[in-house]
Amino acid sequence: MTNLTATHNLSKIVAASITKVSTPFKQPMLFKGHNLCSREGYRLKLHFSDGTIGKGEASPLPGFSQESLNDCLLQLKQVLAPLNLNQPIDLSKADAPSVAFALDCALSKTSYEVDSMTLPNEMPLLIGSNQTIVKEYKQLGKPDRIKLKAARQAPSLDAALVNQLHQLNPALKCILDANQAWTAQDADEFANRIPCKVIAYIEEPCATYDDTMGFFKTTGIPVALDETLQNKNFKFHPQAGIAALVIKPSLIGSFARCQRCIEVAKQHNIQTYLSSSFESPMAIKQLAYLAQCWTPNQPAGLDTIKYLDIDKLTLTPIAQWPQKPCSTDG
């Protein structure tokens, strides 16, 4: 794993700006009770005295991020405010995970390594009705490994989908992401309706960590941790049944925190996967670069970009530093 750190001296930042990024979804998307028509965030741009420009994106995901969009804007303004006094930016104000991640991207070479990046198509993500997913799976050529969103309908319907896909390709291995939405009973009902061998693992099947680990003990189906890692107070201890850690930098935070999770997993031979949170194309490319550095032998979960109408992305300037004085007449 290649460790990444800030490559610029904070005192070398001579200007900065914030731009709002809005990218419509091709179809409205539901995120834990939040029905979103567009994905929104803030793009940070840092100008350095050597002429280079660093970029990052703070895009909290409603329903998953602890911080709101307004929280991000406030923190970014607090971080950048010292530039008005010709002083270094104040990173101590960057408490929100999405803001910390954006700043690390802007301060590291991640910003200018991505222009020539091509996005790998390694892990197809299929979202929609059962009929839509089956149709898309066939169009993709029935790949042996896919990721599905689960727990957005009755467990019996999720099981019916998995069984139908398995019939189309007996070699299929599914990764399911339940986003902690199943009760223990829901999860057990799902497992009882499928051949367990078709499941590679399920990301966060249950609402609590104890129920998730209990699910493995009851069914033998491996699990992966995702939302649990976003809790700053959670101390990861390897246990039987944990097949993978899913690293979503926009939700976990700084490079250092992401890298610590990966290092601990590596010490215990647990797989790690870098995954997106429906960020804009610029941020997705940065995640692809980070995946090459941090998890070079694992597929990255970056297929969220296909659900965004990137041709309709809009950028709206919000603020810049040093702030220009207001002009006066007379």
Q: Which residues contact 199 (CB under 8 A, 6 or more apart)?
A: 162, 173, 174, 175, 176, 221, 222
Spatial distance between the Cα atoms of 122 and 99, rounded to a whole number of angstroms: 27
Name the catalytic one among 55, 93, 147, 248: 248
Long-range own/partner contacts, residues 69-72 (CB < 8 A, 24 or more apart): 69/40, 69/41, 69/42, 71/96, 72/41, 72/42, 72/96, 72/98, 72/99
Name the catalytic one among 26, 149, 197, 324: 149
Q: Which two tokens stand for residue 330?
A: 């007379």
Give residue 10's identity as a one-letter amino acid code: L
Q: Is 141 exposed, middle or buried (0-12, 13-18, 19+ CB in 10 A)?
A: exposed
Catalytic: 32? no
Spatial distance between the Cα atoms of 137 and 158, rounded to a whole number of angstroms: 15
Catalytic: 248? yes
Give residue 264's identity as a one-letter amino acid code: V
Among all residues, which ones are annotated catalytic?
149, 248
